[in-house]
Structure 1
């Protein structure tokens, strides 16, 4: 009863209160996690992102007096226990952090872009770019022309400002009303008359109403017009008064911080490379040579081709660009001929302009929970000029065409491929694991981590691989060689730049081509996995063969580690994880509790996180659901704090982007779970609907979901499974999923034989394993759909009809 009431109370406060402090005698022994009440209460707190802070006994030998706050806040500190009370309980004393941060002064460089006459600027840009000097570098002429023009129309000015929260919603009407309020306040204080006090109070209420209306109008309009998730989150942070910027160390002189980061990033890579050069290794087997039609040159673009590529991109500039984003967007039609000439010159000559090979690096904290004063907790993210990213995207389109036409990508490679995603990759893995569990087997899964993976890629090895394995030659290969060599990076923090550093290895993070080149660089690993009969470092066997199973995984990792050493990549053994997966009874028969590697022993985990999904050792998905719940309730509280400033449509958009997107991420993995597990996610959606429509917790939820046109969580899972099934049957899904389905062929002619779209449902043993696999769930759910629905001719028409069908059930 207590847990049920507590959960209802927390769900209510998640949509009404930004911060919670629960204190008192809970009469539950927090120090006894094996106790059923304690475990259930801890699960409840974890689900709602709550943390219990008292860590010493408060009565005899147990912790039963608790202080509970949201884990994502640091409200409580200096917790002390005192025995001066005449009680068998200790007094629990603590401090609450309530002080406002002090205002800081800082020097900024700004341009008043509002003064720029866009039409005049566009005309002048077109005129000056039309006839470049014959001997000039086209990129240098382009950059210098636009930079000079910008300085003429909006010169940069340095100002010393007080860093205070911005108020972009302030209107002229609000400013005037605040002036009247201050005037009324002064008169009231001077006259001491009741009538003047009443006038002041009335004007104060008027100002508050105007501010609330102005905030709602400004933020709701901005949210509804936003198409970028990043901009949407930034707007939300502005409303909440939170900084969107990544934290930075405060224990280093700000004027030296950029250079300190630059030295750290450079020395880290150099240390890894020096270490790898000293490790002995065996030469790995060379992958088969490319035998098809080589990729020798790039096709030049037309203006129409360039416009199509631009439509697929988000126009975003950085400090390397001559114009800010908004002005770039306004002038793009006048700039396109010059951009087209720069790109085609690069493609035809097989060279990349030097200015395109310079990156501005921003240090980004890897996780919010990490210490911001430790440099090793940051990763370098490269910011590149807009045209360089545009050029990379043009090259990538032609490279992908060559790779796909020649079937050069690994069948299990999901990154950067059409119709592939993290969800399809995880669905393939869990499908294999559930089917193995259904066959009374246990499975071993290993997750590997690389140190600075992108930054240690060897350029010579990569170029040799592009030529030998992927058939890239002549001008095309020269272009990639030019792209990789003579690259420089500068760390920039608050407009203070480090000295440029020449990069001898690596592909830039934050670039368009970098991730794809890294994927091609590591493709020979597939041959190692094939040789060991391991699929993405997981394999299965009977429980009594657990030692042999783990030994097989260990041998695979040894060969992988040898290959990585040879190819200048460092495996981070400290972050290697391993897990055995199966039913509880089968796992109890396993005789091993660790994975033995050549230089370390990796204890088996009870749960691992892979591509944002937490997989536990029985694939119950309970820990994943708890993690999703914790994150969603955190976002729900944030939106509840600013709900009064938002319209219904704006709130619905925020909830869809921050909460429903998390409920939908990889929800195909939840198919077949018991309703008791799914109900926890359904309660999140229910709370979200009540927040959007401002309804009470006792209001019936079905009409609210229908009003918002939101499918309930179970129906959303069904929608995802059937959509993936449709894609599998129409060549819109990875082969590794499509191959797990087959059309039903009856043994004799029946009335239902005319239904040629029915799928074969495989025989399974366990409801908790085989019947949860995609191989079972997909045909089972697909076959229940009406035939006209399954016969839809396009994916969009199928999705629309499917949603209508699910709402009608």
Structure 2
């Protein structure tokens, strides 16, 4: 069996503990007070206001549910509200279904979620290749791992294939019996497994439109939409894909899957990719999961010029025949594609990402021209930060240190928006513009996010000890105590990745900021902000030069 699906043997199995009054109070305070109620009509405000009167019945219900492995049937009903996304109201595809569950059921789910996440983390049961729905790990970590690996493929003169798989309606199509089996393989057995069986079974929903409600209909597949536990159960279910013995690397974020294969020979890398995609497709098929062929793409990464001349193809295999002879669907090769909101291109020069940013933010020149007389300057700056700077900040760790010629379109557009906002002439000096607006340039935003990532993951480049790395051939001395290894790179393009560029940022900043452990997250963020405010844009440009 290629998945080696034998039962996992753990020294300890998952156990559910009863909730206390203090824990219940903490969960209620942490909940979003604006969440809409389910079919019972009980809102968060009622629970919070009358907590002292209803706390004991709630505690009794939650603990009885855990003790007897029974999830209350009244909490298994979802109220679905069709939310219009735009377009014609007679087209069902223009509506997004929003599932509303009982607030009380979410309290029970949150308590189970807290214990389940602790168990999975303490026993390291979730693959390190999963980046979604994992505490402390998110889009930035997924982008970091993938881009670093792509640069390494280019730097070592290898040939790489990046396959981006789109899973069709993955959350809605999960077989719940297979989900229960996945929970068992992760050490959830006995009373706790019975509780999850009860939680997943006999689910119903109704549709509510303008106060009118439909009849109840059963929901037999998928994780529970609108639930608190749904994402955690999904990552347990999909975790088995990381156990498939492939020769490539997996990058999994929720239902977005990417695979990277590399080898010095194009023939060999395509052979490996096709053989391993066969294993992946067979596993997905065995789990009743469907790949959206039209939305799945692949890109080629190489320093060689022959990547466009090879005759090989990449297919989504659902058969055991040789990939050249079978009639399985081919995956389309593209020169650029979006992965978790970041546009990757085969040259890793980030031109496609910059073009996408320009297209997305160009409209704000007209918008701010229209509204600049309606708001105060401070309000306009707040709107700029919410509408423009937030867009510029996304993924900036990966594209923010691109060549200045590549960055020019977005830097010019950023200044154009600010000049319109502040009513400045076209030739107004850039340094004065950013000083008056009190906002960061693209390079300053890059440095800010680089340092904040370093604070969150100091292991990225530990500046507190004179450590060495297999990839490091030289070091940079910051102080008499701190020596930072500098990763070597053959390509100038590779040296612009955040991983390679971080030492050059750390050599310039105050020594106190080099040691992130001495700051809390908020304190470090405040210190970085203060430092960048006091540092001119030209100085920030020089900081990232290697």
TM-score (normalizing by structure 2)? 0.84
**Structure 2 counterpart of 1:516:** 232
Contact 1:295–1:473 (CA<8 Å) still a contact in 2? Answer: yes
**Structure 1 counterpart of 2:538:** none
- Structure 1 residue 668 and structure 2 residue 385: aligned? no
**Structure 2 counterpart of 1:781:** 505
Q: 1:452 to 1:523 in 2, by over 3 A?
A: same
- Structure 1 residue 541 and structure 2 residue 258: aligned? no
Q: How far apart are residue 411 of structure 1 and its match?
A: 1.1
SS in 1 for 2:268: helix
Unaligned runs of 5+ in 2: 252-258, 318-327, 536-546
**Structure 2 counterpart of 1:489:** 205
- Structure 1 residue 610 and structure 2 residue 339: aligned? yes
Q: 1:652 to 1:353 in 2, by over 3 A?
A: farther
**Structure 2 counterpart of 1:655:** 384
Q: How far apart are residue 335 of structure 1 and its match?
A: 5.0
SS in 1 for 2:124: coil
Q: How far apart are residue 676 of structure 1 and its match?
A: 2.2
**Structure 1 counterpart of 2:531:** 805
Q: How far apart are residue 628 of structure 1 and its match?
A: 1.8
Q: How far apart are residue 591 of structure 1 and its match?
A: 0.7
**Structure 2 counterpart of 1:683:** 412
Q: 1:430 aligns with which of 147, 155, 161?
A: 147
Matched ranges for 1:35-74 at <5 A: none
**Structure 2 counterpart of 1:766:** 491
Q: Which protein is bigger by CA-based radius of gyration?
A: 1
Contact 1:573–1:600 (CA<8 Å) still a contact in 2? Answer: yes
Rounded Cα–Cα distance in structure 2 between residues aligned with 1:752 and 1:740: 10
Contact 1:292–1:471 (CA<8 Å) still a contact in 2? Answer: no
**Structure 2 counterpart of 1:703:** 432
- The Cα offsets for residues 308-334 of structure 1, whole Å up to 9 and x where unpaired, read as 223332121235242566666655665
Rounded Cα–Cα distance in structure 2 between residues aligned with 1:461 and 1:504: 12
**Structure 2 counterpart of 1:574:** 294
Q: 1:398 aligns with which of 96, 104, 115?
A: 115
Rounded Cα–Cα distance in structure 1 between residues aligned with 2:130 and 2:463: 17
SS in 1 for 2:487: coil
**Structure 2 counterpart of 1:474:** 190
Rounded Cα–Cα distance in structure 2 between residues aligned with 1:694 and 1:327: 49
Contact 2:16–2:115 (CA<8 Å) still a contact in 1? Answer: no
Q: 1:670 to 1:292 in 2, by over 3 A?
A: same
**Structure 2 counterpart of 1:597:** 316
Q: How far apart are residue 373 of structure 1 and its match?
A: 4.9
- The Cα offsets for residues 25-62 of structure 1, whole Å up to 9 and x where unpaired, read as xxxxxxxxxxxxxxxxxxxxxxxxxxxxxxxxxxxxxx
Q: How far apart are residue 463 of structure 1 and its match?
A: 1.4
Q: 1:452 aligns with which of 151, 156, 169?
A: 169
**Structure 1 counterpart of 2:17:** 298
Rounded Cα–Cα distance in structure 1 between residues aligned with 2:439 and 2:454: 21
Aligned Cα root-mean-square deviation (Å): 3.2
- The Cα offsets for residues 580-612 of structure 1, whole Å up to 9 and x where unpaired, read as 1234x5354651464233311123111111111
- The Cα offsets for residues 53-73 of structure 1, whole Å up to 9 and x where unpaired, read as xxxxxxxxxxxxxxxxxxxxx
Contact 1:380–1:509 (CA<8 Å) still a contact in 2? Answer: no
Q: 1:754 to 1:630 in 2, by over 3 A?
A: closer
Q: How many residues are treated as equivalent by the alignment?
A: 511
Contact 1:671–1:777 (CA<8 Å) still a contact in 2? Answer: no
Q: How far apart are residue 291 of structure 1 and its match?
A: 1.4
Rounded Cα–Cα distance in structure 1 between residues aligned with 2:505 and 2:7: 42
Q: 1:463 aligns with which of 172, 180, 196?
A: 180
Q: 1:635 to 1:754 in 2, by over 3 A?
A: closer
Rounded Cα–Cα distance in structure 2 between residues aligned with 1:579 and 1:482: 44
Contact 2:393–2:445 (CA<8 Å) still a contact in 1? Answer: yes
Q: How far apart are residue 520 of structure 1 and its match?
A: 0.6
- The Cα offsets for residues 378-407 of structure 1, whole Å up to 9 and x where unpaired, read as 654422222222322221111111111111
Contact 2:223–2:230 (CA<8 Å) still a contact in 1? Answer: yes
Contact 1:758–1:782 (CA<8 Å) still a contact in 2? Answer: no
Q: How far apart are residue 707 of structure 1 and its match?
A: 4.1
Q: 1:694 to 1:397 in 2, by over 3 A?
A: farther
Rounded Cα–Cα distance in structure 2 between residues aligned with 1:348 and 1:673: 57
SS in 1 for 2:409: helix
Q: 1:683 to 1:323 in 2, by over 3 A?
A: farther
Q: 1:713 to 1:289 in 2, by over 3 A?
A: same
Q: How far apart are residue 776 of structure 1 and its match?
A: 0.9
- Structure 1 residue 285 and structure 2 residue 4: aligned? yes
Rounded Cα–Cα distance in structure 2 between residues aligned with 1:388 and 1:698: 60
Contact 1:790–1:798 (CA<8 Å) still a contact in 2? Answer: no
Matched ranges for 1:103-114 at <5 A: none
**Structure 1 counterpart of 2:66:** 347
SS in 2 for 1:535: strand
Q: How far apart are residue 430 of structure 1 and its match?
A: 0.8
SS in 1 for 2:207: strand
Contact 1:446–1:576 (CA<8 Å) still a contact in 2? Answer: yes
Q: How far apart are residue 482 of structure 1 and its match?
A: 1.3
Rounded Cα–Cα distance in structure 2 between residues aligned with 1:702 and 1:449: 44
Q: How far apart are residue 674 of structure 1 and its match?
A: 0.8
**Structure 2 counterpart of 1:312:** 30
TM-score (normalizing by structure 1)? 0.58
- The Cα offsets for residues 258-286 of structure 1, whole Å up to 9 and x where unpaired, read as xxxxxxxxxxxxxxxxxxxxxxxx87431
Q: 1:359 to 1:608 in 2, by over 3 A?
A: same
**Structure 1 counterpart of 2:280:** 560
Q: How far apart are residue 337 of structure 1 and its match?
A: 4.8
Q: How far apart are residue 669 of structure 1 and its match?
A: 0.5
Contact 2:42–2:102 (CA<8 Å) still a contact in 1? Answer: no
Q: How far apart are residue 663 of structure 1 and its match?
A: 0.6
Q: How far apart are residue 287 of structure 1 and its match?
A: 5.3
- The Cα offsets for residues 91-147 of structure 1, whole Å up to 9 and x where unpaired, read as xxxxxxxxxxxxxxxxxxxxxxxxxxxxxxxxxxxxxxxxxxxxxxxxxxxxxxxxx
Q: How far apart are residue 410 of structure 1 and its match?
A: 0.7
**Structure 2 counterpart of 1:132:** none
SS in 1 for 2:310: coil
- The Cα offsets for residues 438-484 of structure 1, whole Å up to 9 and x where unpaired, read as 222231111112222112212222112212x2212233222211110
- Structure 1 residue 410 and structure 2 residue 127: aligned? yes
Matched ranges for 1:309-388 at <5 A: 309-315=27-33, 316-323=35-42, 336-363=55-82, 373-375=90-92, 380-388=97-105
SS in 2 for 1:784: coil
Contact 1:298–1:476 (CA<8 Å) still a contact in 2? Answer: no
Q: How far apart are residue 716 of structure 1 and its match?
A: 1.0
**Structure 2 counterpart of 1:166:** none
